[in-house]
Structure 1
Amino acid sequence: MELTPLYWLLYISTPASLSVSPDRSQFFEYEYVSLSCEVQGNSTGWRVVRNSERGILSECNTDWGKQQGSSCNVFPIPSDSGLYWCESGSGEHSNAVNITVHDGAVILESPALPVTGGDSVTLRCRYQGTPSDLTADFYKDGSLIRTETTGEMTIPAVSKSDEGLYKCTNSEGESPESWMTVTVPTPIPSPAVPVLSMSLPRLLCSLLVGSPYLLVTIILLVKYCRSRAQGETRVPRKTHQDQLGDHVEEE
């Protein structure tokens, strides 16, 4: 089943999320996989639901899987391939995860859940037997992107451009395709700093009008300076002869 972004039910105001253990989207036939509903608060009433490739909607513990609390343990077969999610009794949904069960010799181990931009992600070409050569070709959206002799490919820091359909091939066969979703956290904008666009005269005018006490203080200060200056000019200055007479009288 080919998964596209339209199939993802994202975390939009939902109290639950579906986790997959081990965290990969492809499994060999009869491999053990555990699907768990991680719920904020009480998990009672949540169940794992599947929409198979045939379009049949069913719950865990009906004709597939074994329900244990809010988890479902499965030993899947190819007909169990499809979309899985958590659902409450009131109709609330979690995210959806696409799982492919392959009865061939090769699968691609890729994350079942969305990966965060900047994280390191390793894709592995896994074989059911023990191949003599681990060399594998990795494809994205149908185009060869890398050949690795170790059978695994690491993306040191994934970005939105790495999102797409991946598969691998080797001498043993070809894996199914799986969609890898990359989420990029939205940065929190810093608060804008107000820019002072007022001219200096207007700023001074605003300060004077808005501060009457400051205006009165300035006026009183100006009056005090003027009266002091006028008092100094009214005192007669002694002439040189007056100063000499004062000196003789003291002797």
Structure 2
Amino acid sequence: MEGTSVHRLLALIFLLSRSTNQVHLTVSPSRSQFFQYESVTLICEDENRSDGWTVRRNTSRGTRTECKDGWGKLNGSVCNMNYMQPSDSGVYWCESRSGSSSSSSIQLSVSGGSVILQSPVLPVMEGDDVTLSCRARNPTHNLPAAFYKDGSFIGDGSSGHMTLLHVSSSDEGLYKCNINVMEVISSSRISVKGQRSAASVSDLNTFSPILN
């Protein structure tokens, strides 16, 4: 019995050691919002540089579907998505082949509109700076940009960018931008989770094919 208990303890320690910190999902280009028909590469990276991971997602079209299930091309632990559609908006993560371990999830949104609000795809720490970029599908329309938080104007960005300095809980809210008369189609919500904890920037309407 004692030997069995030891084996169970060792097995538990092994499972606990397979933490989500061993792998993370990298997005290239590194942003959370994309225009329709753009391409993105999702890379599962772990400290052992193994290929034992796959990319999965939850969207309006399916739950826990795997890259290669009709929406991407999987090469090792790299998933390439081309000609993305608004229905590709959703939550993405890396998962081991056995399904016993996974990374933290990220949210990506795809807009069919003329303007998107770009924000960091990876979590930032409280106290760090967060840069928001208002981007038009037509590059000649990129400047200038006006930024809003919870419906209230917070400032102009002559270069199309606005930086939130030393983010804290007071920066939580729903952000939008516009360029000239073109209103942003998708919005980004910033949430800050406690002192020195991760502040994530995620899309408000992840599963909606048409983001408002």
Out of 93, 109, 124, the residue aligned to residue 85 of structure 1 is 93
Deviations 1:71-94 (A, max 9, x none): 111121111111100111232111
Q: Separation in 2 of the partners of 1:139 and 1:61?
A: 38
Q: How far 1:60 sits from its partner (Å)?
A: 0.6
Residue 175 of structure 1 corresponds to 185
Q: Which has the higher contact order (CA 8 A, sep 6+)?
A: 2
Local SS of the residue matching 1:112: coil
Q: Name whichever of 177-186 and 103-112 sits farther off.
A: 177-186
Question: What TM-score do you get using the length of structure 1 for normalisation?
Answer: 0.62
Out of 10, 19, 22, the residue aligned to residue 26 of structure 2 is 19
How many residue pairs get aligned? The number is 175
Structure with bigger strand share is 2
Q: Give the superposed CA RMSD.
A: 2.3
Identical residues among aligned pairs (%): 50
Q: How far 1:44 sits from its partner (Å)?
A: 2.8
Q: How far 1:61 sits from its partner (Å)?
A: 1.4
Deviations 1:31-60 (A, max 9, x none): 121111111225332100011134443111
Local SS of the residue matching 1:161: helix
Out of 57, 65, 71, the residue aligned to residue 50 of structure 1 is 57
Task: Mark the CA change 1:90 to 1:163 in structure 2 (over 3 Å): closer, same or farther.
Answer: farther
1:125-204 mapped onto 2 (5 Å cutoff): 125-131=134-140, 134-170=143-179, 171-182=181-192, 184-185=195-196
Q: Separation in 2 of the partners of 1:162 and 1:178?
A: 12
Q: Is the 8 Å Cα contact of residues 135 and 142 (structure 2) preserved in structure 1? A: no
Q: How far 1:132 sits from its partner (Å)?
A: 5.1
Q: How far 1:182 sits from its partner (Å)?
A: 4.4
Q: Separation in 1 of the partners of 2:35 and 2:125?
A: 26
- Code of the aligned partner of 1:150: S
Local SS of the residue matching 2:87: helix
Q: Separation in 1 of the partners of 2:161 and 2:74?
A: 34
Unaligned runs of 5+ in 2: 1-17, 198-212
Q: Separation in 2 of the partners of 1:45 and 1:53?
A: 27
1:56-135 mapped onto 2 (5 Å cutoff): 56-75=63-82, 76-91=84-99, 92-131=101-140, 134-135=143-144
- Code of the aligned partner of 1:179: R
Q: How far 1:119 sits from its partner (Å)?
A: 2.5
Structure with bigger helix share is 1
Residue 226 of structure 1 corresponds to none
Q: How far 1:109 sits from its partner (Å)?
A: 0.9
Local SS of the residue matching 2:103: strand
Q: How far 1:133 sits from its partner (Å)?
A: 7.0
The higher radius of gyration belongs to 1
Question: What TM-score do you get using the length of structure 2 for normalisation?
Answer: 0.73
Task: Mark the CA change 1:42 to 1:133 in structure 2 (over 3 Å): closer, same or farther.
Answer: closer
Task: Mark the CA change 1:83 to 1:50 in structure 2 (over 3 Å): closer, same or farther.
Answer: same
Q: How far 1:172 sits from its partner (Å)?
A: 2.2
